[in-house]
Amino acid sequence: MKIVSNTSPLAYLLLIDQVELLYELFGQIIIPQAVSLELADKGAPDVIRRWIAEPPLWLTIEAVTVEVDPVLDRLHAGEKEAIVLAQELGADLIILDEKQAREVAKERGLNVTGLLGVLDEAATKGLVDLPTVIENLRKTSFRVSPSMLKMLLDRHFHLGNQE
């Protein structure tokens, strides 16, 4: 499978100490150079900068050339390059959190998930204790409606009761 990720899903997985879920779920993850630079930015938390300074073997960083495109030009560099890379590779999945970037990716026929989708899949496969992970995520600056988190937790709580 070819999986491309943008910056924020990686950053938040690192902040909640769950980045290895990407490897467990998908094996190899591919990021564009712009995402690597965003993760290495001096304003990023130390844990993120240290991780990208010595990336795991399952992370591949690709150079991407982005042509002038008025739609993509509205996005951040990492989002732009991730979408272009996913298109170039014929990626099976792109991991994006930002609403506008997700919409552009979907319009271009890409299969999109976000951080919550990754956590949902990990919980379905029994790889995480979802309530603990969600509580740790709430302690970060990740923006999501409380009702979305509740819906995710309720879904897994009810799934667990049916088994």
Note whether 23 and 113 are within 8 A (CB). Answer: no
Domain total in the chain: 2
Domain end (from 114, 129, 149): 114
pLDDT at 1 over 70: yes
Which pLDDT score, from 0 to 100, does residue 103 have?
A: 96
pLDDT at 78 over 80: yes
Note whether 94 and 79 are within 8 A (CB). Answer: no
Q: Which is nearest to 72 in space by CA: 36, 13, 32? A: 32
Chain CA centroid to CA 96, Å: 5
Range of the domain at 129: 117-162
Q: For residues 40 and 122, what is the distance between their CA atoms, to the nearest angstrom?
A: 26
Is residue 75 domain-shared with residue 135, that is, in the same domain?
Answer: no
Is residue 68 domain-shared with residue 138, that is, in the same domain?
Answer: no
Is residue 125 domain-shared with residue 78, that is, in the same domain?
Answer: no
Give tens-digit pLDDT for 11-60: 999 999 999 999 999 999 999 999 999 999 999 999 999 999 999 999 99
Q: For residues 35 and 50, what is the distance between their CA atoms, to the nearest angstrom?
A: 14
Is residue 110 domain-shared with residue 34, that is, in the same domain?
Answer: yes
pTM comes to: 0.91
Is residue 93 domain-shared with residue 154, that is, in the same domain?
Answer: no
Between 159 and 22, the higher pLDDT residue: 22
Q: For residues 9 and 11, what is the distance between their CA atoms, to the nearest angstrom?
A: 6
